[in-house]
Structure 1
């Protein structure tokens, strides 16, 4: 299966699970490949994600034109931390809490780039913000079992996964379940969508307030 067909398949599956009209997929031209080198199909995921967001906007505005995606731009957006510069200097985008760490019985991958993920990890490890230096986090993780730690951090609202070999049987089982889980949060009437057509300003007609200038 090519990356292009993988993106097409992923998009079609998600669009159907969202309860959308699959005929709307016809607004998309041929999906490009995004130059994102990886062992997993990151390119297919990136292109399908951008295509779904673009298609949702297209459907809400009833645009007449079809959608054309640029694979190079998709790739740049998904690895923007590699091209972004602040005063000519590439910013350090990785938290010291993020990384591969050795647990008591294996390895885990922790994530602390977002404040709520960092807070959840610190809570589970019993660390204050001033204590969350890499070497301190390493020592705290080393005293925990990988599975137990990953479950505890996830339950606390953080991100921590066990590093393990691929399990084809587990992958096959996951493919039998929907990728999208829709939950109704309210019975209120939906808000009106943005005005159809081609407004003079980007947010004209949307259900939000803006001030001029």
Structure 2
């Protein structure tokens, strides 16, 4: 399936007007980054879907349709998440993150957060304050891969055993994911169509819309950043007691950034006030987690009739892994992508050395992030036509299943990475001088932009601005 066909499928699944597709222009073809998978098509089609859906909602609000052009190379590089701060390119990976050879295979451990790193090392019976990577590798060589995976999951840690595609497909979780669509958009309550402010021709298509972004690690922040690029007032809500990773500097472009402590009555009251005035509520808690705090889709629909809720998970809401924590790198490993890239299947002799290798970017996170933005805009379009409150659900594993369905790319592993420089831009931010990539969707009349600078968590008050762009 090529990128245009993928866009067509995504668009039709959401029930959006087919005639709008003629305003999308996709250029380029895979391979654009070294991979045997169609990562370029995945990036290009989801980015185009998000931008086109925003423009279609803008059209429904009174503005003319506009052309959306996405070049595959730019889209793929956009999805690498590259950035620098004051000339320094941060190393986003902890020393203990990565693949470990076990007695009967491989395990990938995600240790970028201190509590995950310390938990994994304690599971290995190592001292977190003194252990070395070499010591961890020696211990892991004595474990069976699935045993460590299960032991880590039982303690709420993040590690997965490497699987082949056939092993994943035969697993209960693999079968649960295969039975699900790429995303779901479901009406969850009755409400009249929201009275959205009219849109001028010179305004970005989501101007005047308010989005709460309660996500932390990549996919959700990417979705919120895209909605901000198309004009929405996006408020990133962080807890003052939880850590973040440095990529927050890149994904916070265009957003307000506030602290709200949901452990307190006052914090929950503040979030209820914000949600009552929001059009979209995006959250990346594990299934049931946000509902336990009083902000599940059903509760939000009662609080703010007509709201669009977007829920992000690692492994979906069905199957035995539905409540497991997960990150892009782990989902790639569990689902078979790392094994397949190592083998270079379909690439020809000598293309793969057999050692597991990751995809060239965190495409499951990135593509899922753009599906969040797409789903939010598509559900708002449906809300304007049909009324109701809506719930959009996406997961990294469902995106992975879809990526497999795009097919393999002969010769893809042998190409070199293209130069980032033609797509880079710099801006001042609350983190320092930020260099990052321009948004890859080109809107012909109202270009995507992030007029608000990226700022650290807690830089803004938890209150909506009095007018668009304030």
Shared fold (TM-score, shorter chain, > 0.5)? yes
> How does 1:60-79 map onto structure 2 within 5 Å?
60-62=57-59, 63-79=64-80
Q: CA deviation at 1:107?
A: 0.5
Deviations along 1:137-158, one digit per CA (max 9) or x if unpaired, are 4355444432243355567666
- Residue 61 of structure 1 aligns to a residue whose secondary structure is helix
> After TM superposition, where is structure 1 displaced by more than 6 Å over at least 4 residues in a row?
171-174
**Contact 1:111–1:160 under 8 Å retained in 2:** yes
Aligned to 1:53: 50
Q: CA deviation at 1:103?
A: 2.4
- Residue 59 of structure 1 aligns to a residue whose secondary structure is helix
**Contact 1:8–1:31 under 8 Å retained in 2:** no
Task: Say which is worse superposed, 140-149 or 61-70, in terms of deviation.
Answer: 140-149
Structure (1/2) with the larger strand percentage: 2
Q: CA deviation at 1:130?
A: 4.2
Deviations along 1:163-206, one digit per CA (max 9) or x if unpaired, are 2444399399766642224566x637476656433355897422
Deviations along 1:105-139, one digit per CA (max 9) or x if unpaired, are 210223344x4xx6456546646864675345435
> How does 1:161-180 map onto structure 2 within 5 Å?
161-167=160-166, 170=169, 177-180=180-183
Aligned to 1:28: 24
The CA distance in 1 between the partners of 2:95 and 2:45, in whole Å, is 31
Q: CA deviation at 1:47?
A: 1.0
- Residue 3 of structure 2 aligns to a residue whose secondary structure is helix
Deviations along 1:69-112, one digit per CA (max 9) or x if unpaired, are 1233213212243xx33222322122223211112321022334
Task: Say which is worse superposed, 60-69 or 96-105, in terms of deviation.
Answer: 96-105
The CA distance in 2 between the partners of 1:188 and 1:131, in whole Å, is 57
> How does 1:21-170 map onto structure 2 within 5 Å?
21-33=17-29, 35-62=32-59, 63-81=64-82, 84-113=83-112, 115=113, 119-120=115-116, 122-123=118-119, 126=122, 130=129, 134-135=133-134, 137-139=136-138, 141-151=140-150, 153=152, 159-167=158-166, 170=169
The CA distance in 1 between the partners of 2:68 and 2:160, in whole Å, is 36
Q: 1:202 to 1:11 in 2, by over 3 A?
A: closer
Using CA pairs below 8 Å that are at least 6 residues apart, which structure has the higher relative contact order?
2
**Contact 2:105–2:144 under 8 Å retained in 1:** yes
Q: 1:65 to 1:94 in 2, by over 3 A?
A: same
Q: CA deviation at 1:66?
A: 1.7
Q: 1:103 to 1:20 in 2, by over 3 A?
A: farther
| 2:17 is the counterpart of 1:17 | no
Aligned to 2:250: none
The CA distance in 1 between the partners of 2:136 and 2:194, in whole Å, is 45
Task: Say which is worse superposed, 63-72 or 201-210, in terms of deviation.
Answer: 201-210
Q: 1:169 to 1:148 in 2, by over 3 A?
A: closer
> How does 1:193-208 map onto structure 2 within 5 Å?
195-198=198-201, 204-207=207-210, 208=233
Task: Say which is worse superposed, 45-54 or 164-173, in terms of deviation.
Answer: 164-173
The CA distance in 2 between the partners of 1:6 and 1:154, in whole Å, is 37
Q: 1:29 to 1:102 in 2, by over 3 A?
A: same
Structure (1/2) with the larger helix percentage: 1
TM-score by length of 2: 0.36
| 2:465 is the counterpart of 1:210 | yes
Deviations along 1:16-42, one digit per CA (max 9) or x if unpaired, are 333434443332123533622212211
Q: CA RMSD in A?
A: 4.0
Q: List alignment gaps of at least 5 residues for structure 2.
A: 211-232, 234-463
Q: List alignment gaps of at least 5 residues for structure 1.
A: none
